[in-house]
């Protein structure tokens, strides 16, 4: 980062306002995408890194349900996420079955190279 001489940096960043109508805390952060200090700090206590936070947080964003991401990234085990998981597994198994030759060939190439 290049800091120009004489450039005065703002000492305090303006505090973000809480999203109107959203509950304060992790729920506000996750569901209503509020990034005010209260919601942020409440959300942060759910884990150290983003992945842990997503998995530990009891509030899952609505749009993730019924997707593979909901199952794997958010560790949601609701009916819709479970069925998405099953579908993905079936799809992956089917794909491997169809591309069996291709995969075997690739594995041979890989072994030959290394
Ligand atoms: Zn907030
Ligand atoms: Zn779910």
Residue 39 CA, ligand 1 centroid: distance in Å? 4
pLDDT tens column, 18-40: 999 999 999 999 999 999 999 99
Q: How large is the C-alpha radius of gyration of the chain?
A: 22
Residue 76 CA, ligand 2 centroid: distance in Å? 5
How many other CB atoms are found less than 10 A from the CB of residue 70?
23
Q: What residue spans define the domains of the chain?
A: 15-59, 65-114
CA distance 37 to 98: 51
Could you list the pLDDT tens digit for every one of the 114 residues in the chain?
A: 555 555 556 666 678 899 999 999 999 999 999 999 999 999 999 988 888 999 999 999 989 999 999 999 999 999 999 999 999 999 999 999 999 999 999 999 999 987
Q: For the chain, first and last CA: distance in Å?
A: 41
Residue 20 CA, ligand 1 centroid: distance in Å? 8
What pLDDT is attached to residue 5? 59
CA distance 16 to 38: 10
What pLDDT is attached to residue 4? 57
């Amino acid at each position: 980062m290049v800091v120009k001489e004489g450039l005065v940096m703002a000492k305090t960043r303006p505090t973000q306002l809480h999203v109107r109508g959203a509950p304060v805390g992790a729920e506000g952060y996750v569901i209503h995408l509020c990034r005010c200090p209260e919601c942020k700090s409440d959300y942060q206590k759910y884990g150290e890194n983003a992945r842990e936070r997503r998995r530990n947080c009891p509030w899952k964003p609505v749009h993730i349900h019924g997707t593979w991401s909901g199952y794997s990234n958010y560790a949601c085990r609701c009916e819709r996420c479970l069925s998405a998981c099953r579908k993905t597994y079936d799809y992956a198994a089917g794909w491997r079955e169809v591309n069996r030759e291709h995969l075997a060939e690739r594995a041979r190439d890989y072994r030959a190279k290394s």
